[in-house]
A = this chain, B = another copy of it.
Amino acid sequence: MITPEALTDFMQETFTNARFIVKTVDNGHCTMIQEIGEEQLRPGGTVSGPTLMGLADAAMYGAIIGALGLNDTSIMSVTTSLNINFLRKPKADDGVKAVCDLIKVGKRLIIGEISLYSVGEEDKPVAHVVATYSVPG
C-alpha cells in the first residue's frame, strides 16, 4: 500500500495548482486535506465550488490508487461523471478535508462517494459528491 507521504508527493506533482496533503490511504479509502489560498476563494471568503469539486475528484483519484496501486491503470483512469450537492458554506480558514470511500471497483468503472468538510467542523459536511471513474484497458 502506498504511504500517505508518497501519495502526497504524487498528488502535488500531478496537481501543481493545489496544495493537497494525503492523511490516509487504504484499499478503497482516502482522506485528504487541501490548504486554501487566495486563488481558491470567492469574494466574501468562501471556498469556490470548483475548488470543492477538484478536491473531491483528487480524493477519489487517491482512493483509486489505494485500491489498484500506483501504476498505469490507476494513473490513466479518468473521471467520467461527477455529481455534487453543496450543503453548507465552507469556512476557509483551516482548509478543507475530503473523505472518499469507493462504493464499487469494477473492471471498467469505479464509483465512489466523497464527503467534504471544513477542517475542524467534521460533523457537518459542506458538500457531498458521488463520482464515476473509467478504468482504461
Q: Using a CB–CB distance below 8 Å, which chain A residues touch chain B?
A: 14, 17, 39, 42-43, 48-51, 53-54, 57, 78-88, 103-104, 108-109, 111, 113, 125, 128, 130, 132, 134
Contact = CB atoms under 8 A, between A and B. Distances in A.
Contacts of A86: 78-81
B82 A104 contact: no
A17 B78 CA distance: 25
Contact of A83 (B14, B57, B81, B104): B81
Given A80-B109, A103-B128, 7 more contacts: A49-B79, A80-B132, A82-B84, A83-B130, A85-B132, A103-B125, A128-B130
What's the number of copies of this chain in the assembled complex? 4
A11 to B, nearest CB: 12
Contact of A54 (B50, B81, B113, B128): B50
Contact of A81 (B51, B113, B125, B132): B132
B128 A82 contact: no
Nearest to A80: B86
B57 A49 contact: yes
A87 B104 contact: yes
A49 B103 contact: no
Top 4 nearest A-B pairs (CB, nearest first) are A50-B54, A50-B50, A83-B83, A87-B104
A53 B88 CA distance: 19
